[in-house]
Amino acid sequence: MKKILCTICARGGSKGVENKNIKKINGKPLIAYTIEQAKKSNLFEHIVISTDSEEIMEISKEYGGEVFFKRSAEMASDTAGKLDVIKDAFKRSEEYYGEKYDYLIDLDATAPLRDVEDIILSFDQFVNDNNDNLITGMISRRSPYFNLVEVDKNQKVTLSKKIDNSVLRRQDVPKSYDMNASVYIWKRETILNENSLFLERTGLYVMPEERSIDIDTELDYKLVELIMKEKKAC
């Protein structure tokens, strides 16, 4: 049987929403939702938390996360790349547990609206398509061919992507997607040897907009809390 490791990376500092990873949402710390989803998926041997915060460590343990190291200050800085942080957690886990994992699935604590089914089905798609890695996203509201613009150093405004002027309808341009930071999947050799998220065999698992909010601002937080309340009332 293939061995799958789950990582959840959650640093203590947050600029958009203060202490967002443990801020309570409908009475429960934000990170708890992701830990519980990982447990319910029944995919993982271990659910490892990477954090620099003592408080996040304690709360994560309370909800079933495994914490055996504290993230270094370098890995918790504003300049640390997400991929480097995940790779660090994967290497530490293999050393700590004395195991080689076939796959790594990273779940972002700030995307609590995912379903457990999203974790399971994205992994099934990843395996069936023989991807090297996989990201999740939703169909974008705006198209880089029609709605998204860039401003250069001379303040010139242009569309983000150009296309033949004969194409007049949004429906005729390539589909674009917004990454939603919900689920990331890698093969072992990919996470250890690659330094880019976008590879020749990168897969995309598409999720609906209502499960795709990544909490980065107070408005995101309020929207997620409202959606959760509505789901609970149903």
What is the number of domains present in the chain?
Answer: 2
Same domain, 151 and 99: no
CATH code, 185: 3.90.550.10
The crossing angle, in degrees rounded to 10, of helices 30-41 and 116-128 is: 50
Same domain, 62 and 150: no
Provide φ and ψ at 107, rounded to 5°.
-115, 125
Same domain, 99 and 191: yes
Same domain, 121 and 86: yes
Same domain, 20 and 98: yes
Nearest to 34 by CA among 152, 91, 119: 119
Region class of 26: left (phi > 0), else alpha (psi between -120 and 50), else beta: left
Same domain, 87 and 157: no
The pLDDT, as a whole number, for residue 160 is: 87
The pLDDT, as a whole number, for residue 166 is: 61
Same domain, 204 and 112: yes
Give the other-Cβ count within 10 Å of 77's Cβ: 11
Q: Residue 95 sits in which domain range?
A: 4-138+178-233
- pLDDT per position in the chain (234 positions), as tens? 899 999 999 998 776 688 899 999 999 999 999 999 999 999 999 999 999 999 999 999 999 999 999 998 887 777 778 999 999 999 999 999 999 999 999 999 999 999 999 999 999 999 999 999 999 999 998 888 878 899 999 999 988 888 766 665 667 778 899 999 999 999 999 999 999 999 999 999 999 999 999 999 999 999 999 999 998 776
pTM for the structure as a whole? 0.92
Same domain, 83 and 160: no
Same domain, 25 and 79: yes
Whole-angstrom Cα distance, residue 107 to residue 114?
10
* Token representation of residue 169: 């309808």
Same domain, 132 and 152: no
Same domain, 170 and 198: no
Same domain, 151 and 227: no
